[in-house]
Amino acid sequence: MPDTVTPRQAQGWLASGRAVLIDVREPHEFSAAHIPYALSAPLAGVAAMLKDMDLPADRKIVFQCQKGGRGGQACAAVGAVAPGGQPVFNLEGGIDAWAAEGLPVVGVSPAPGVSIFRQVQIVVGLLVAVGVIAGFLISPAGFVVAGLFGAALATAGITGWCGLALLLNRVPWNRP
């Protein structure tokens, strides 16, 4: 389990220059709202990007996401110590906890009415349900289709990469 830091502790570190904050959410999430001075490095490429960032060795690295899950994954991907020797931490509760503490958040563009992750859950849930119904009423192949969509959703959860989310980012109602 990665080391964690509370929003107030992280704010103190950032204000004193003892830490660097890296937001591991997707670019559309970052543009909708982010913590001031956060760097954007989406989870899928954070380990590689961190090697190229040339961050000061005397600063802690704090990973942040929406609620803390992806920040923890970033810590696990990097390890307890970053490539430059900096200790890494996960911001407890992510930007949601940060905002709940009344700490500043920069909003650049409005977020979609329904988050991309909820849209993915809705689409895949409906596709699985249709596959199961088709399996009972039409052909057992419907069960295979439902299983494939379930496996794709599990893979997205494990890897942090979701092709459907990338497609949904491009539809008109999700563009700022």
Pairing state between β 39-40 and 88-91: unpaired
Strand order in the sheet with 19-23: 4-5, 88-91, 60-64, 19-23, 39-40
Active-site residue identified among 32, 65, 127, 146: 65
Tokens for 75, please give them: 């810590």
Judge whether 65 counts as a catalytic residue: yes
34: which strand partners?
106
Cα angle: 147, vertex 163, 173; to 5 degrees: 115
- The CA–CA distances, whole Å, from 5 to 16, 43, 68, 111 equal 15, 19, 11, 26
Distance CA 25, CA 65 (A): 5
> Catalytic site residues?
65
